């Protein structure tokens, strides 16, 4: 979706997009996705929160030091993982989490309050900048997402779809290729749905 947005806004004279089939994206980063991760309930991959904060801080310089964001005992572990040669397995950092698997349990209380209550919190502002629904795509889009996605909630796609339609986009569809599918089990059905759609557009 991000690639399509950039093409349409910056490279429309170079590329003509026949169709785009994004799948299970966190299009509403500052709303649906953030609220879901910041709930006081377990999250299937809590390590994503650390990935998000470390990555965004490297780009947007939101915090002078991340030691002020994470509880010090967890920050010491995270900074080793996100050093110059980090390992690639998400489960490595997931396993550093408390047994509760609540993402925010590694954050300092003042950070939790700010993220949840302050619309000008630096992380919230950065996520708003990266939302992918506040525009009107011109290219045909078939969005694939399953309703039991436990990593990227289905509501992300609903928000994006409704926004696109309200802004005048006319060739947008939202497909649920596997009712009850999770983030993992929805993958293959989504790919097959995209392939079938692409095949239908062959000349």
Q: Is the pLDDT of residue 202 over 70?
A: yes
Among 61, 66, 69, smallest CA distance to 79 is for 66
Note whether residue 36 is domain-resident: no
Judge if 124 and 53 occupy the same domain: yes
Query: Domain for residue 192, yes or no?
Result: yes
Per-residue pLDDT at 84? 61
Residue after which a domain boundary falls, among 129, 151, 178: 129
Report CA 194 to chain centroid distance, whole Å. 20
**Residues whose CB falls within 8 Å of the CB of residue 105, separated by 6 or more in sequence, listed in order:** 97, 98
What is the CATH number for 53? Answer: 1.10.260
Could you say which of 129, 155, 173 is where a domain stops? 129
CA gap 113, 60 in Å, rounded: 20
Q: Which residues pair with 172 in a beta bridge?
A: 141
Structural domain for 116, as ranges: 41-129
Mean pLDDT for all residues in the chain: 95
Rounded to an integer, the average pLDDT of 136-158 is 98
How many residues does the structure list for the chain? 203
Per the structure, the count of domains in the chain is: 2
Task: Provide the CATH number for the domain around residue 169.
Answer: 3.40.50.1820
Tokens describing residue 95: 């396993």
Digit-coded pLDDT (tens) for 69-94: 999 999 998 988 887 655 667 888 89
Residue 33 lies in a domain: no
Q: Pairing relation of β-strands 141-144 and 172-175?
A: parallel
Tell whether 21 and 60 lie within a shared domain.
no
Residue 162 in domain: yes
Would the pTM count as exceeding 0.75? yes
pLDDT digits (tens, 9 = 90+) for 17-75: 999 999 999 999 999 999 999 999 999 999 999 999 999 999 999 999 999 999 999 99
pLDDT of 86-124, one tens digit each?
566 788 889 999 999 999 999 999 999 999 999 999 999
Reply yes or no on whether the pLDDT at 183 is more than 70. Answer: yes
Question: Do residues 7 and 76 both lie within one domain?
Answer: no
Residue 152 lies inside a defined structural domain of this protein = yes
Considering only residues 131 and 93, tell me which one the structure prediction assigns the higher pLDDT.
131
**What is the mean predicted confidence (pLDDT) over 139-161?**
98
């Amino acid at each position: 979706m991000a690639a399509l947005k950039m093409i349409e806004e910056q490279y429309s004279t170079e590329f003509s997009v026949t169709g785009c089939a994004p799948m299970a994206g966190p299009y509403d980063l500052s709303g649906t996705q953030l609220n879901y991760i910041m709930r006081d309930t377990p999250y299937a991959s809590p390590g994503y929160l650390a990935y998000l904060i470390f990555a965004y801080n490297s780009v947007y310089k939101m915090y002078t030091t991340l030691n002020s964001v994470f509880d010090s005992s967890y920050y010491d572990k995270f900074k080793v993982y996100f050093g110059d040669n980090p390992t690639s397995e998400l489960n490595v950092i997931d396993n550093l989490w408390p047994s509760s698997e609540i993402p925010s349990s590694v954050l300092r209380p003042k950070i939790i309050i700010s993220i949840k209550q302050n619309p000008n919190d630096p992380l919230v502002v950065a996520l708003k900048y990266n939302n992918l629904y506040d525009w009107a795509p011109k290219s045909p889009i078939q969005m694939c997402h399953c309703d039991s996605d436990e990593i990227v909630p289905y509501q992300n796609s609903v928000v994006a779809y409704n926004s696109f339609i309200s802004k005048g986009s006319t060739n947008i569809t939202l497909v649920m290729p596997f009712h009850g599918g999770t983030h993992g089990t929805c993958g293959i059905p989504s790919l097959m749905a995209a392939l079938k759609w692409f095949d239908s557009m062959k000349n």
